[in-house]
Amino acid sequence: MNPKLMSEIVASMPDEIAKGIQKTGLREGGVWMTVDRDLLPKIAGHIHNSWGAALVSMHAVDNRFITSDFKLCVVLALKGQDDFVTLVASVDAKDPVFPSLTSEIFCANWYEREIHDMFGLRAKGHPDLRPLVLYDDWPEAAFPLRKDFPVDAKVPRVPRPYVFREVEGEGIFVVPVGPVHAGVIEPGHFRFSVAGEPIIDLEIRLGYAHKGIEKLSERLDYAKGVHLAERISGDNGFAHSLAYCQAIEALSSVSVPDRARYLRCVFAELERVHTHLGDVGGIALDTAFTIGAQHAFILRERMMDVNDLLTGSRFLRGVNCIGGVRKDIDEEGRSKLIERLVMVKLDYQEFYDDVTSTPSVMDRLETTGVLSCEAASDLNIVGPAGRASGVDRDVRRDHPYAGYRNLSFKVPVLRQGDVNARFQVKSEEIMESISIIEQAISNIPEGELRARVPVPAPGKTAMSLVESPRGELVHWIVAGDGSPFRHKIRDASFHNWRAMEVAVLGDIVPDFPLVNKSFGLSYAGNDL
Amino acid sequence: MNDLLLALIQAALILGLAPLVTGIIRKVKALLQSRRGPPVLQPYYDLRKLFRKSSVISSDASWITSVTPFVCMIAMMVAALLVPVFITASFGSLGDLIVVVYLFATARFFMALAALDAGSTFGGMGSSREMMISAIIEPAILLSIFSAALIAGTTDLAGISQVLVLGGTDLLRPTLFLAFAAFFIATLAENARIPFDNPATHLELTMIHEAMLLEYSGKQLALMEMASMTKLMLCITIAWSAFFPFGMATELSPLPVAVGLIAFLVKLLLFALAIALIESSMAKMRLFRLPNLLTGSFILAFLAVMSFYIL
C-alpha cells in the first residue's frame, strides 16, 4: 500500500474520530492502526462506510500474559484495491467490555457474539448476545480461546436456556427442524415461524459441529496444522489448507516456487469444479429432477476420480504443504486431465441445457429465495451467493494469490439473487474454472515444487485470503513458539448463513430445502 | 358364490402384485438415471424386514396411531374385492365405484388424523397439505368415473367393464379418453407421485404423503407402506377396467381368462412405465401450483361428462 493512501484515509476522518488513532504503520498486509477502544466503532464505521471497505474479519487475541490485555482486531478490505486496513484496539483484562460495532457495520453482529462466547469480551450495545457457537449446556464463565483455558479441560454441563425469537399472531405456528435431519447432512437447527405455508421468520441456530479447531491449532506445529486446516470443512479442504500455508509462508517471508503456484491454482480450481458440480446437482435433486441431478453427480464423480488419479486423494488431501505442494502433474497426468476436462465441459453443457429447457425445473428455480442486492451487501455475502446478488467481489481477482495474477478469467455477476441466479453463477464458474485449469496447466513453468520454509519468528502476524468454492475465507495467524499463538479461521459460510434468514422470507416452507441447497453452506466451517 | 371366489382371487392378485409395481417403477427410474438400482423385488424384501421389526410409538400418541395402519390396510383390501382385474366380475353386491372412492377417503382421513396424533410438526404439515390436495382430487376422481358409469349405465365396476368389453369399439368415445386423462392425473396426486410429491425424498419440509408416515416404524410402517402400494395398484387397475377394459374375460373359461391376465399384466407394465417416465422427466411442482394441475384434471373430467351428453 502506498503511504499516500494511508494518510488520505486518516485525513478523511473528522477530528473527533481521528483523535482515537494512537499509532499507524505500514506492514506487508496493509495499514495497521492502533486505535482507542471507545472510538473503534466510529473509526471502523468511517472506513467501512466512506471508503466502501468490506469487513474481512473481526477477532480477539488473548494477550494477557504478554501485554496484560486483550487485543481486538478488525480487518477491512478497501474497495477496488488490493489493500487491507487492520484496526487493533486494546481491551482491559479487568474490564472486558468494548463498544459494539454492529450499529456501524451490520455484519459485525455474529463476530461479536463469537468473541463474547470464546473470549468473554462483552460488546456493549450489541442487540443480541446469546451464545453463537457454544453448546446449550456450556457453563457461562468458561471461555475456550482464553490462554488460561486448557485445551483438554472438562467443563461441567450447566443447562442454559436459549431463548428463540418469538413471532406472535393469529395462526402463526412454529416449525422447529433439526439439528438432526433425515438426510445425511450436517447438524443445524432451523426454526420457522409460519402462517400456513408462507415463512414469516426463520431463525438459524448453529454451533452443533463446534470442535475447537482454533484452540487445537494453537498446540499443533505448523506442518501438522496443514492437515488440520484440510479438515476444517470437508469439500473445501484444499482452499483452507492453501490459506493456512500461504499465511505461514507470509510469516516466514518465503516466496513459493512458480511451478507450485500454478499447481495450487490447478488444484484449487479442481476443488471448485467438483464442489460446484455437487451444488448444481443438489439443486436439481431438490426439485425432484433426478435425471438431471444424477447427470451432475456423474460429472462430479469423474472430477473426483481425476483428483484421485493426479494426487491419490479424491478430496485433494495431503497435496498442500508449507512452501509449496507435494504432488506434481507429469506429462501423462496432464494429458489425462485435459482429456477429462474437455469431456466434462461438453457433458456439463448437456446437463445445463437439460435443466434450463425443462420448464418445471425453471419454474422452481426462478424467483425462489431472492436475496436482494442491498441485503447481500449489508450482510457482506461472499462468493457465488454474493455474486448472484450483485456483490462484485472475488478474492482471486481482487487480492490475487498463488498464480492467479497471470491467469485470465471472468467473474460472473448477476443481480436477480434468486436460486436460478446462484445456479447460473455456479454454472459459469465451472466453465471459468475449467478454462483456468487449462491455462495454468499449459503454461506451467518448470522448477521446484516447494521451498524450504524456516519456522516463523514468534510474534509476527500474517493473513491470507483465499476464494474457496463457497467464497472468501480467511486465515489470520499470530506466530507463536513453533505453533500459532492465535489462529483465526473464518469460512465463507460464517458470513453467508445469515443470508438465508433473509432469502427465505415470503417463500413457502417446501421451497426452503431448495434455497438452502442453492447457498450450499458448510456447517463445520461455520462452527469450527 | 362364483363371484366371491373370483373377487377373492383378483384381490389376492392386486395385493400380491402391488409391491412388484412399485419395484418396477423404482427400477425403471434408476435405469433412466444411469443407476443400477435396487432389485425389482426390493419392496417385498423391505416389507419382510419391516414385518419382523417391532414398532416404536410416541408416548403422546393415542389409539388413533395404533388403529390407523389396520384401517388403511383393511380399506385397501375391501376395495380390492370390488375391482375387476382380468375378468368382468367382482364382489359387486358389497359396493360400487363410489364405495371404492370413499374407502380411499376413509384411509386418508385416518392417516391425516394419525399424523396429527403424536403432535409432531412434520405430521401436521403433511396432513394439511394432503387435505388441501384431496379436497380437489376427490371431485375429479368421482366425475371421471361417473362418465364411464354414464356410458355403461351402472356404477358397479364389474358392470362397467362388462358393458365396455361387450360393446367393443362402438363405445370408444372421446368421453373415455378425457375421463382417462383426468383419472391419470388424479392417480398421480392420489398416490403422491411427482409432480405432486416426491416419493424418494428425504427432505421432511417438502413431503406430503411421507410426512404423515414419519412417526411409524416396524410392523405398522409395513402396513402403511403396503397400503399405499396397494392403493397405487388399485388406481392403475381401476384406470384400465373402468375406461379401457379391453381384453378382459367376460366368462369363466381358460382362453379368455388367460388373455385377460396377459392384457392386465401388459397394461400394468405400461402404466408403471408411464409413471416412471413422468417422474424422470419433470420436477416436482411448487406446492401452490398443484391446485392448478388438479383443477385441470377436474375440467377434463367435467368435459368428459359433457361430451357424453353432447356427442
Nearest residue of chain B to residue A195 (CA atoms): B125
- Asked if B283 reaches chain A (Cβ–Cβ under 8 Å), the answer is yes
The amino acid that residue A396 corresponds to is R
pLDDT tier for residue A280 given thresholds of 50, 70 and 90: very high
Q: Coil, helix or strand for A176?
A: strand
Q: What percentage of residues in chain B have a pLDDT greater than 90?
A: 43
Closest listed residue to residue B151, CA positions, set B118, B124, B174: B174
Beta strands in A397-470 (DSSP E): 461-468
Output the pLDDT for position B70. 95
A118-122, B168-172, B283-287 — which is least confidently predicted?
B168-172
- Phi and psi angles of residue A74, each rounded to the nearest 5 degrees, phi first: -120, 120
Contact B231, B150 (CB under 8 A): no
Question: Inter-chain contact B33–A181, Cβ cutoff 8 Å?
Answer: no
Q: What is the 3-state secondary structure (H, E, C) of A421-440?
A: HHHHHHHHHHHHHHHHHHHH
Domain boundaries defined on chain B: 2-310
Q: Is the torsion defined by CA of A378, A384, A388, A390 positive or negative? A: positive
Position A183 pLDDT exceeds 80:
no
Max intra-chain CA distance, chain B: 60
DSSP letter assigned to residue A466 = E
Q: What is the reported pLDDT for A1? A: 59
Per-residue model confidence as pLDDT tens digits over A392-410: 999 999 888 888 988 899 9
- A348 Cβ contact list (under 8 Å, min separation 6): A277, A299, A427, A430, A431
Residue with cell 495454468: A440
pLDDT attached to residue A269: 93
Cell of B93: 353386491
Angle at B135 between CA B132 and CA B140, to 5 degrees: 130
Assess contact for A489 and A168: CB atoms under 8 A.
no
| B204/A182 Cβ within 8 A | yes
Contacts of B195 (CB under 8 A, 6+ apart): A288, A360, B188, B278, B282, B283, B284, B285, B290, B293
Residue A297 pLDDT class (50, 70, 90 cuts): very high
* Contact (CB<8Å) A288/B194: yes
Q: Mean pLDDT across the stretch A69-92?
A: 88
Closest CA to B93 of B3, B19, B164: B3
A114 and A61 in contact (C-beta within 8 Å)?
Answer: no
- How much of chain A exceeds pLDDT 70, in percent? 100
Q: How far is CA A358 from CA A12, A421, A512, B34, B294, in A?
A: 54, 16, 21, 19, 20
Cβ contacts of A287 on chain B, cutoff 8 Å: 283-284
Q: For A287, which of B29, B32, B284 is closest by C-beta distance?
A: B284
- Taking the CA of residue A360 and the nearest CA in chain B, the distance in Å comes to 5
What secondary structure letter does DSSP report for A182?
S
* pLDDT of res. B59: 86
Of B29, B121, B195, the CB nearest to A360: B195
According to DSSP, residue B247 is labeled: T
C-beta atoms of B288 and A197 within 8 A: yes
Q: Tell me the per-residue pLDDT of B92-115, one tens digit each, with 9 for 90 and over.
A: 777 788 899 999 999 999 999 999
Chain A residues within an 8 Å CB radius of B194:
288
Mention every residue, 6+ apart, whose C-beta is less than 8 A from residue B115.
B123, B124, B126, B127, B130, B211, B212, B213, B214, B215
Are the Cβ atoms of B286 and A177 closer than 8 angstroms? no
Mean local confidence (pLDDT), B4-24: 91
DSSP state of B135: H
CA distance A248 to A477: 8
Q: Is the model more confident about A445 or about A6? A: A445
Q: How far is A366 from chain B (nearest CA, A)?
A: 11
In this prediction, residue A30 carries a pLDDT of 81
Q: What is the pLDDT of residue A352?
A: 93
Q: What is the pLDDT of residues A339-379, one digit of tens each?
A: 999 999 999 999 999 899 988 889 889 889 999 999 998 89
- How many Cα atoms sit within 13 Å of A23 on the Cβ side? 8
Q: Which of B201, B205, B289 sits opposite A288 (nearest CB)?
A: B201
The residue behind cell 378425457 is B178
Model confidence at B30, pLDDT cuts 50, 70, 90, reads: very high
At B5 the pLDDT is 86
**Domain architecture of chain A: domains with CATH:** 3-124 (3.30.460.80), 172-205 (no CATH), 213-527 (1.10.645.10)
Query: How far is Cα B300 from Cα B144, in angstroms, rounded to an integer?
Result: 8
Q: How many helices (H) and strands (E) does chain A have?
A: 18, 15
Structure confidence by residue, pLDDT tens digits, A454-490:
888 888 889 999 999 999 999 999 988 888 999 999 9
- Determine, for residues B121 and A364 on separate chains, whether the beta-carbon distance falls below 8 Å: no
**Band of pLDDT at residue B246, cut at 50, 70 and 90:** confident
Per-residue confidence band for B1, with pLDDT thresholds at 50, 70 and 90 = low
* A84-122 pLDDT tens trace: 888 899 888 888 899 998 988 888 899 999 999 899 899
What are the residues whose beta carbons fall under 8 Å from the beta carbon of A410, sequence distance 6 or more? A428, A432
Q: Are B53 and B217 in contact (CB under 8 A)?
A: yes
State the smallest CA–CA distance between residue B28 and chain A in angstroms.
12
Q: Any CB–CB contact under 8 A between B35 and chain A?
A: yes
Å from A413 to nearest chain B CA?
27
Closest residue, chain B, to A191 (C-alpha): B121
Taking CB atoms and an 8 Å cutoff, what residues of chain B touch A364? 283-286
Q: In whole angstroms, what is the distance from residue B279 CA to residue A491 CA?
A: 38
- Whether A197 and B286 lie within 8 Å, measured CB to CB: no
Q: Is the Cβ–Cβ distance between B150 and B308 less than 8 Å?
A: yes
Contact between B23 and B41 under an 8 Å Cβ cutoff? The reply is yes
Q: Is the pLDDT of residue B124 over 90?
A: no
pLDDT above 70: residue A313: yes
CA–CA separation, B34 vs A301, rounded Å?
Answer: 13
Rounded Cα distance, B196 and B286, in Å: 8
Of the candidates A287, A295, A513, the beta carbon closest to that of B283 is on A287
Task: Give the three-state DSSP class for B8.
Answer: helix
Cβ atoms of A287 and A365 closer than 8 Å: yes
B34 touches chain A (CB under 8 A): yes
Contacts of B49 (CB under 8 A, 6+ apart): none
Output the pTM of the full model: 0.89
Min Cα separation B101/chain A (Å): 28
- CA distances in angstroms from B219 to A315, B45, B51, B58, listed in the order given: 41, 13, 5, 15
Kindly give the pairing relationship between strand A199-205 and strand A320-321. unpaired
Chain A contacts in chain B segment 166-195 (CB below 8 A): 194-195
Residue of A nearest to B128 (CA): A196
- Nearest Cβ partner of B283 from A175, A181, A289? A289
Calculate how close chain B gets to A363, using CA atoms only, in Å.
8
8 Å CB contact of A510 and B205 = yes
Q: Which of A263, A311, A252, A265 is nearest to A452 (CA)?
A: A252
**Closest chain B residue to A511, measured at CA:** B206
453452506: which residue's cell?
A: A521
Residue from A321, A309, A135 nearest A229 by CA: A321
Q: Does B203 sit within 8 Å of A183, measured CB to CB?
A: yes
Contact between A363 and B286 using a beta-carbon 8 Å cutoff: yes
Q: Do B288 and A508 touch (CB under 8 A)?
A: yes
B286 vs A511: CB contact, 8 Å cut-off? yes
Q: Which of B207, B279, B284 to mutate to test the interface with A (most CBs of A within 10 A)?
A: B284
3-state DSSP assignment of residue B19? helix
CB contact under 8 A, B32 and A291: yes
Min distance B283 CA to chain A CA atoms (Å): 5
Residue in B with minimal Cα distance to A289: B283
Nearest residue of B to residue A294, measured between CA atoms: B33
Beta bridge partners of A25: A32
Whether residue B108 contacts residue B213, with contact meaning beta carbons closer than 8 Å, is answered with no
**B100-121 CB burial, b ≥16 within 10 A, e <16:** bbbbbebbbbbbbbbbbbbebb
Nearest to B92 by CA among B2, B190, B187, B184: B2
Q: Are A246 and A239 in contact (CB under 8 A)?
A: no
In a mutational test of the B interface, the residue from A175, A192, A197, A287 whose CB has the highest number of chain B CBs within 10 Å is A287
Please list, residue by residue across B202-216, b when 16 or more beta carbons sit within 10 angstroms of its beta carbon and e when fewer do: ebbbbbbbbbbbbbb
Contact list, A506 vs chain B (CB under 8 Å): none
Dist CA A227 CA B150 (whole Å): 75
Q: Which three cell numbers mark B162?
A: 362388462
Please report how the helices B121-152 and B157-167 are oriented relative to each other, as an axis angle in degrees rounded to 10.
40
User: Cis peptide before A156, with omega less than 30 degrees from 0?
Assistant: no
Q: Judge contact between A476 and A244, C-beta under 8 A.
A: no
Q: CA of B27, closest CA in chain A: separation in Å? A: 13
Chain A contact for B200, CB < 8 A? yes
Shortest distance, CA A192 to any CA of chain B (angstroms): 11
Portion of chain B with pLDDT greater than 70, in percent = 100
What percentage of chain B's residues is helix, strand, coil (to nearest 5)?
75, 0, 25
User: What Cα–Cα distance (Å) separates residue B145 from each residue in B96, B149, B157, B192?
Assistant: 11, 6, 9, 20
Residue A6 has pLDDT above 90, yes or no: no
Q: Distance (Å) from the C-alpha of residue B286 to the closest C-alpha of chain A?
A: 6
Helices (H) and strands (E) in chain B, counts: 11, 0
Query: For helices B254-281 and B2-32, what crossing angle results, to 10°?
Result: 30
